[in-house]
Amino acid sequence: MRDQDLTFENAVKSKLKLRLAIIGPSGSGKTYSSLLLASGLSKKIALLDTERGSASKYADLFKFSVLELDNFHPDNFIEAIRSAESQKFDLLIIDSLSHAWNGHNGALELVDKAAARLKSTSSFAAWREVTPLHNKMIDTILRADLHIIVTMRAKTEYSLEKSDNGKSAVRKVGMQPIQREGLEYEFDIVGDLDLTSTMVISKTRCPILQQSVIQKPGKELAKTILKWLNSGEPVKKKVVSAGNKRERDRLIKNIKTKVEELNEKNFITAKKLSEFGDKIKDSKATVGMLRFLEKQLLLLNRLDQIKGNISQQERKSFYRKILATNTQDVKAVEKELKIMEAA
The tens-digit pLDDT sequence of the chain (343 residues) is 445 567 788 888 888 999 999 999 888 999 999 999 999 999 999 999 999 999 999 999 999 999 999 999 999 999 999 999 999 999 999 999 999 999 999 999 999 998 888 887 778 888 988 998 999 899 999 999 999 999 999 987 767 777 677 777 766 555 689 999 889 889 999 999 998 999 999 999 999 999 899 999 999 999 999 999 998 887 666 555 566 788 888 899 999 998 888 888 888 887 788 888 888 888 777 888 888 899 999 999 888 888 777 788 888 888 888 888 877 778 888 888 888 877 6
Q: For residue 156, give the DSSP letter.
A: E
Q: For the chain, which residues make up each domain, given as ranges?
A: 19-229, 242-342
Phi, psi of 161, rounded to the nearest 5 degrees: -130, 155
Distance, CA of 308 to CA of 88 (rounded, Å): 51
CATH top class, domain 19-229: alpha beta
Give the contacts of 98 (CB within 8 A, at least 6 positions apart): 50, 151, 152, 153, 177, 178, 179
Measured CA angle at 92 (ends 89, 93), to 5 deg: 155
Angle between helices 287-305 and 270-281 (to 10 degrees): 160
> Does the predicted TM-score (pTM) go above 0.75?
no
Measured CA angle at 331 (ends 326, 333), to 5 deg: 75
